[in-house]
Structure 1
Amino acid sequence: MKTNVLISTCKKIPLDWKWDEKINSKFISVNSDLKTVVFFEGFESKGTAGIKGNTPIESGSYYYEIKVKENLFGTAVMFGFGTEDITLNYNDYNYCNLIGLDSEGWGLSHKGTVWHDGKSRQFCDAFFEADTLIGILLHDKKIHYFINGQYKGIAFDNVKTNKKLYPVVSSTAADIELELVNSFRLEYSLKDLCLHKVQNLFKNEIDCLQIPKSLILCLKQM
């Protein structure tokens, strides 16, 4: 499957991101490897619960992937980034789009809407099936999403904050299991960045470009 040049050509430095084991919520269970989280396990859902990673993002470009282990349902199962001040629990049967409910988060719901600062818009088709792979990229103050390896575009641009950012997931539904399967810091060469720019500007005219055939082939395979 074709993917975006921002992922396909750059150098990927593996990271050992895990979920925050210090989370203080009886509605969140984290496996011993700290890679898999289950929401409202064995409980009726009584609101919305979220969890962030245990390592803040430093300067640079970062990408992580979440594998959905159960069919998704409910008000919102969300994937994105949040600041150190994001609220991670809403109880008393408050079912909400947690990541992006305020200015502390940027999130994508399984219903295909993206949220920030309490505002939403339709971004992509909804996804409900188990084994769906969600990729989230933070690059150049923009947040991009991938579904099962397919690039869906830029959900948020001009992501500015003077606070530390973390990967965050949340759910309103019970027994939803999400696994953090990959996390990378990305390093781009000048060639990578140029190919990305060309791909964006001329994605429907690649065959007409007056550039070496090897580069045309590279662009068409992305």
Structure 2
Amino acid sequence: MATLPLRHGCDDHWTWNRRDRSHEVRLYGPELRVAHFHPDWSCGTAGVRGTRVLNNGRYYWELCISQRIFGTSMMFGIGTRRARLHVDLFRNLLGEDEHGWGLSHKGLLWHSGRWTHYTKPFRENEATTVGVLFDGIAGTLTYYKDGTCLGVAFKGLNEVREPLYPIICSTAAKTEMTLALMKRDFVNLQDRCRAVILKQVRSQSQLDKLALPQRIKAYLSEPLADTIQPFQPVNTYVNSV
């Protein structure tokens, strides 16, 4: 078993973006961390983007994949805001062009429309956990499967100038991916001190009660997850092709 990446870092706080997803993705659960793809049936590929901007930092997150692992492509990785999140075709969506970098459940890496073998295909209909380690300093993306490191998948990501975000997508009906463990590295001593404070102050309402200057409150509140409302279809914000 591999050692947990960024174990000396701190907990991270982000979720799936309810305004930046396919209309075939339903978000629910605590802080909308559960993504449910194609709730009725599937006639294409659907994705959702995370709220975390990754550039220049070190981040690790785990995705708990339900036992419904099958279909043309279930993918995990990163991309820019120009990476598509919906298409009415069954395809490897994440990595179809230069805006995405993804791993499919068939063990293939995709970027710029090209694929390469990376690991064994995932067993179908068997739940698994996929870990993703983004190192914005070294410019690498590394995957883990059930705690085992699979090795560096992509390099040169430190040269990407556009904001990068976590992305997941699936072609298979009624599949689910849950955002579980999230860790990040410390930027500096100030960041480390903030993480210690936020172990005791876990919400914006608690923070507002502290007698602190507004500038300090604003800095402390940055990592706090936004208040999440129950899922409501918002077609205005749905990415569609």
Q: TM-score range by the shorter chain?
A: 0.7 to 0.9
- 8 Å contact kept, 1:78–1:108: yes
Could you say which residue in structure 1 is the equivalent of 2:119?
124
- 8 Å contact kept, 1:21–1:54: no
2:97 equivalent among 91, 94, 102 = 102
Q: Aligned partners of 1:175, 1:17: CA distance in 2, in Å?
A: 23
Alignment pair present for 1:51 and 2:29? no
- 8 Å contact kept, 2:105–2:121: yes
Instruction: Compute the RMSD of aligned alpha carbons.
Output: 1.7
Residue type matched to 2:34 in 1? T
Residue type matched to 2:90 in 1? Y
CA-CA distance at 1:20 after TM superposition: 0.4
- 8 Å contact kept, 1:79–1:109: yes
Q: Aligned partners of 2:38, 2:76: CA distance in 1, in Å?
A: 17
Q: Aligned partners of 2:148, 2:95: CA distance in 1, in Å?
A: 23
Q: Aligned partners of 1:132, 1:46: CA distance in 2, in Å?
A: 25
* TM-score under structure 2 length normalisation: 0.71
Alignment pair present for 1:11 and 2:8? yes
- 8 Å contact kept, 1:10–1:187: no
Work out the number of aligned pairs and report it. 182
Q: Aligned partners of 2:77, 2:108: CA distance in 1, in Å?
A: 12
- 8 Å contact kept, 2:21–2:48: no
Could you say which residue in structure 1 is the equivalent of 2:205?
none
Q: Secondary structure of 1:20's partner? A: strand
Unaligned runs of 5+ in 2: 188-241
Q: Secondary structure of 2:176's partner? A: strand
CA-CA distance at 1:186 after TM superposition: 2.4
Q: Secondary structure of 1:11's partner? A: coil
1:69 equivalent among 66, 90, 100 = 66
CA-CA distance at 1:131 after TM superposition: 2.7
Could you say which residue in structure 1 is the equivalent of 2:182?
183
* TM-score under structure 1 length normalisation: 0.77
Residue type matched to 1:72 in 2? I
CA-CA distance at 1:14 after TM superposition: 0.7
Percent identity over the alignment is 32
1:84 equivalent among 81, 86, 91 = 81
Unaligned runs of 5+ in 1: 189-222
Alignment pair present for 1:173 and 2:172? yes
Cα deviation per residue 1:4-41 (whole Å; 9 max; x = unaligned)? 5x72x741211111000113533110004310000000
